[in-house]
């Protein structure tokens, strides 16, 4: 019985060391060969449905100049305004934008406009990214 008590801590220590090593190797392999966690298609139309053509670009992080602006964003910044929220009636301009793809590994499919106070606020949150990408 005594040898079992002495062996158990050693076995536990070996298992913990192996788990630690497995975790380190898995992370570095993921970093080296996996697809980027952020890959977005950004389309900005300066006059909404007007005759001016929309600008479209792809943002892939790391590596893209727009990544600094994208790094400040969270998936919640791409959520639409809930239907039960009262928004000020003001017009911020005809501009529209769409953003699709993945941000930090999470799916994004968002539409932006400047048609009322809530939508203008959403636009302002992502405006640095729109300016860099568009």
Contact residues for 47 (Cβ-Cβ < 8 A; gap 6+): 94, 95
Cα separation, 116 vs 6, whole angstroms: 71
pLDDT for the residue numbered 61: 92
Give the CA distances from residue 121 to residues 43, 73, 81, 98, 115, in Å, rounded to whole numbers and listed in that order.
18, 14, 10, 15, 10
Q: Which CATH class is domain 36-133?
A: alpha beta
pLDDT at residue 3 is higher than 50: no
Cα separation, 123 vs 118, whole angstroms: 9
User: Could you tell me the pTM of the whole model?
Assistant: 0.70
Cβ(90)–Cβ(117) below 8 Å: yes
Q: How confident is the model at residue 15 (pLDDT cuts 50, 70, 90)?
A: very low
Q: What are phi and psi of 132, to 5 degrees?
A: -70, -45
Average pLDDT of the segment spanning 17-26: 40
- Angle (CA) 68-97-104 rounded to 5° is 40
Average pLDDT of the segment spanning 18-46: 62
pLDDT for the residue numbered 39: 95
Q: How confident is the model at residue 123 (pLDDT cuts 50, 70, 90)?
A: very high
Q: Which of 38-47, 64-73, 105-114, 125-134 has the lowest mean pLDDT?
A: 125-134
Q: Tens of pLDDT along 22-32?
A: 444 333 333 44
Tell me the domain boundaries of the chain: 1-34, 36-133
């Amino acid at each position: 019985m005594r040898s079992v008590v002495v062996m158990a801590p050693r076995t536990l220590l070996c298992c913990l060391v192996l788990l630690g090593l497995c975790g380190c190797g898995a992370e570095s392999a993921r970093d080296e060969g996996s697809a980027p966690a952020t890959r977005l298609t950004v389309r900005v139309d300066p006059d909404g449905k007007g005759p001016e053509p929309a600008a479209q670009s792809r943002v892939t992080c790391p590596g893209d100049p727009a990544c600094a602006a994208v790094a400040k964003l969270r998936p919640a910044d791409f959520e639409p305004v809930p239907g039960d929220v009262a928004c000020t009636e003001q017009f911020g301009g005809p501009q529209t934008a769409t953003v699709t793809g993945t941000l930090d590994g999470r799916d994004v499919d968002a539409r932006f406009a400047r048609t009322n106070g809530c939508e203008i606020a959403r636009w302002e949150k992502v405006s640095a990214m729109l300016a860099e990408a568009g």
